[in-house]
Structure 1
Amino acid sequence: MEAIRRRIAARALGAGDRLPSIRGFAATMGVSPSTVVEAYDRLAAEGLIRSRPGSGFTVAGHPPLAVAAIAARPDPAMDPLWVSRRSLDAGAAIPKPGCGWLPPDWMPVAALRRSMRRIARGGDAVLTDYGDARGSADLRRLLARRFAAEGLDAGPDAILLTASASQSFDLVCRALLRPGDTVLVDDPCYFNFQAALRAHGARAVGVAMTPSGPDPDLFAAALDAHRPRIYVTNSALQNPTGATLSAQAAHRLLGAAAAHDLAVVEDDTFADLEPEPSPRLAVLDGLGRVIRIGGFSKTLSASTRCGYVAAKPDLVEALVDLQVATSFGGPSPVAAGLVHGALSDGSYRKHLASLRTRLSEARRDTAGRLCDLGIRPWLMPRGGFTLWCRLPDGRDAAAAARAASRDDVVLAPGDVFSVSQTATDMMRFNVAQMSDPRVYPVLARALAAA
């Protein structure tokens, strides 16, 4: 039963596909035919497969993605979905140094309220109707101007608005991946990349990160050995390490991608947190093989869900159709209007300048206080809110996260981010979420228990 569940969850068997014959499957599994009959009968009773007289058994449909494809790690502290759910479900009173967003008082709430009032005074359609298939034309034009300012030629028709950066990545996976495909990721990388790839039945292969990007020799070797379909990264302030892609590394990466016909997905969500723009794969490539995705949850609002994809026109057309088929359009017109209004507000630039300064101070303060506990940053990032740190004396970060969870503090242990599971003594800290006076005493106790 478990073997069939795994094959269905991995999309190796699809709805309507015939299962192996009873005798053939019995021989493969080394069991009696009666055992296979009982297993098939139980799966049919669950509604996972169905019996067709004269045709054997066929797949009834796919189970929810979370059933088997995602929840692969037995240790909940090492499960990226557990970390995400713990962060999302924790109330406002629970410290969340392991979460991936800023506190409410760090966000431009006044600009969002002004934008919301403008929407409320506008026409009824924005409050009641579906949006355009590609999303708000006003916001797409604004994004096109922002992209042009950094040297990326992407007109409004090359941009698709989505419900979030995560949905953007999901749509790209739906369009480009098939079950069993290999995807190259940074090691460590954003843990939701891994969860999404497992949900699509893809295999993630990691390439070790350096302070200037993925190790170029290991990247080239992985392309030769695994023939991946796509590569996924954050160029700006890589998550979780805070590393910045160098110009040399970017050119070598794109050269290798071209030689292997590799598509590149560049998540630009952290771009506005950089003090100065670093090299961008999408700009250097001109959206030939690079797909830019992003959103506004890190600098504007995690509540107002709105993301985007910028890519070559034929892929954008396919993604538009996919989004209509799966969610009947992109972000809510209200959400897109809120984002457009807040980005258009002259206060957004001032907000970003203030935010970068505040984060710089928080990084220095947090790094100093962590060092007092023997916790050392892997590097000091140019910007952003994450510190990728090594625990003292090889302490187990998962054990520390479990101990802190018992004290209602959410931490993010290193192996959650590591495909190779080689970050056992590493941990990501959100410097904007470290001001609660309970954090450091709980962290000290968690280290002692690890």
Structure 2
Amino acid sequence: MRYLPHGPADRAHMLETLGEPSIEALYRDVPAAVLQAAAFPDLPDHQGERAVEAHLAALAARNRPAGAGPCFLGAGAMRHHIPAVVDALVQRGEFMTAYTPYQPEISQGTLQALFEFQTQVALITGMEVANASMYDGASACAEAGLMAQRVTRRARVLVSGGVHPRYAATTVTLADGAHEAVEVLAPDPLGIEDLIGRVNHETACVIVQTPDVFGRLRDLTALAAACHDEGALLVAVVTEPLALGLVRPPGAMGADIVVAEGQGLAGPPSFGGPGVGLFATRAALMRQMPGRLVGQTVDEDGRRGFVLTLSTREQHIRREKATSNICTNAGLVALALSIHLALLGEEGFTRLARTNHALAVDLATRLARLPGVRVLPQAFFNEFALLLPVPAGPVVETLADRGVLAGVPGERLWPDYPELAEVLLVAVTETTPPADIEALVDGLKEALS
């Protein structure tokens, strides 16, 4: 075919490299019901614009928005109230159509917005410097492992079992081409894993999450000291950025790199995205940081200005020696997060965090009274794990049929660990009204009786 560059010989060579005998064998994991057998699918005839819009609207209506009823889903994608002014500002033409800011003389607005974003990220994480954002929290986590390898010149990366499994999987995938030895520990709902005892002189970094995927808040001080004693770095992961408004920031506990997912403060979950990865580190490690960094300077007339700085990281200069293949940033989502933080201010940020924590404590207290239900983490922010007396999956399905999204079953995140089948992750935010909490408590009580 004229528009496909690969001929039969090319495809045969790729199949041989992959160890697959045929194209059909390569796609054997795709269900037959959705596999397109014909090269040219039998698409319907063209229709008018209104008919197409009606058809697409009907397809979209089959999905259920998280805000359409009681929703306690979390596990890395939080639902917070985003003020309408955030959406209004990010849709301004100056931001919506802005191109990559390599020409500072015509990109001062975009560069200043990113500089403000970096300042905010550094403040809430307790670090000295932050970049202009990454694609999402998972890719930021993986890049942190690569950065630690460059800094320490070691290959071993230790990933806590409390790190979100998607973040851990992304770290493993990206490390494969960099010859990292990534060790991912088993999920640890009871908080008994020994990370300090596993750190040695071969460790590049330890990656740990707080609040972790089970909602547990962790004091990283002792772990940071143990890492530094062995010449390793500590990478802290945060999937709920609002927690940084209330808990001690990772930088204050000794973390060398802090990565986070900022989606919760930038926009709705929307089936997981779009996200914005936060990446902050100590000033001494700044030159090894991936992604863009906006710096403040003065022009020839002494006026304040902004530029992309430390361009030695960029591929067009260092080529294969660049620190990463990240050559852009999630500019519009980063802007949304920055506007939201500016609207909240420091006091509002803390107040909103306290509201979320209080709601979670109230719900956990009520659920712990149900027969056979146990709340696992002793200290949490706005998400916690329940241990049910029965598998969580069927319970969640039962409540979903009644319009209540009760949370994320453990088996959805860890299908290879059947012992977590009774674990249910429950998240509460300021968007959760009292009636929704009543619906969850009553629904679980009935489902477990």
Matches within 5 A, 1:44-443: 44-46=22-24, 90-92=64-66, 93=68, 95-100=70-75, 101-103=77-79, 106-113=80-87, 115-116=89-90, 119-120=92-93, 123=94, 127-131=97-101, 137-146=111-120, 152=126, 154-155=128-129, 159-173=131-145, 183-197=157-171, 199-200=173-174, 202-206=182-186, 208=188, 215=193, 218-223=194-199, 229-235=204-210, 237-245=211-219, 250-274=220-244, 276-278=246-248, 280=250, 282-285=251-254, 290-302=256-268, 305-311=275-281, 312-317=285-290, 321=314, 328-332=327-331, 334-345=332-343, 347-349=344-346, 351-374=348-371, 375-379=373-377, 381=379, 384-392=381-389, 395-404=390-399, 409=405, 411-414=407-410, 422-432=419-429, 433=432, 435-436=435-436, 438-443=439-444
**Distance change (3 Å), C-alpha of 1:442 and 1:222:** same
Structure 2 alignment gaps of length 5 or more: 1-12, 31-61, 177-181, 293-312, 316-321
| Aligned AA (2:392) | A
* Cα contact 1:185–1:206 (8 A) shared by 2: no
TM-score (norm 1): 0.61
| Alpha-carbon distance between aligned partners in 2 of 1:423 and 1:167, rounded to the nearest angstrom | 26
| Contact 2:407–2:426 (8 Å) recurs in 1 | yes
Distance in 2, Cα, partners of 1:240 & 1:350: 27
State the Cα distance separating 1:188 from its structure 2 match: 3.6
Q: CA deviation at 1:176?
A: 6.3
Whether the aligned pair in 1 keeps the contact of 2:406 and 2:426 (CA below 8 Å) is no
Q: Distance in 1 between matches of 2:118 and 2:341?
A: 13
> Does structure 1 retain, via aligned residues, the 8 Å contact 2:162–2:208?
no
Comparing 355-364 and 396-405, the one that deviates more? 396-405
Structure 2 match to 1:43: 21
Whether contact under 8 Å (1:131, 1:330) holds in the other structure is no
Q: Is the Cα–Cα contact under 8 Å of residues 124 and 245 in structure 2 kept in the other structure?
A: no
Residue 363 of structure 1 and its aligned partner are, at CA, apart by 1.8
Decide whether aligned partners of structure 1 residues 17 and 229 sit closer, same or farther in structure 2, where only a CA change above 3 A counts: farther
Provide Cα deviations, 1:96-154, integer angstroms capped at 9, x if missing partner. 32334444xx413134145336x34xx4x751423459995434533554466579562
**Matched residue of 1:162: which SS?**
coil
Cα RMSD after superposing both structures = 4.5
User: Is the 2:376–2:387 Cα contact (8 Å) retained in structure 1?
Assistant: yes
Q: Identical aligned pairs, as a percentage?
A: 12
Aligned 8 A contact 1:210 1:243 in 2: no
**What's the TM-score, normalizing by structure 2?**
0.61
Q: Secondary structure at the match of 2:72?
A: coil
Tell me which residue corresponds to 1:82. none
Q: Deviations over 1:262-311 (max 9, x none)?
A: 3432124435435644252x3454x7xx2211242223424664332123
Residue correspondences, number:
349
| Structure 2 SS opposite 1:264 | strand
Contact 2:160 2:184 in 1 (8 A): no
Contact 2:145-2:157 within 8 A present in 1 as well: no
The alpha-carbon deviation at position 431 of structure 1 amounts to 2.2
Q: Secondary structure at the match of 1:115?
A: helix
Q: Which runs of 5+ in 1 are unaligned?
A: 1-14, 20-38, 49-62, 68-87
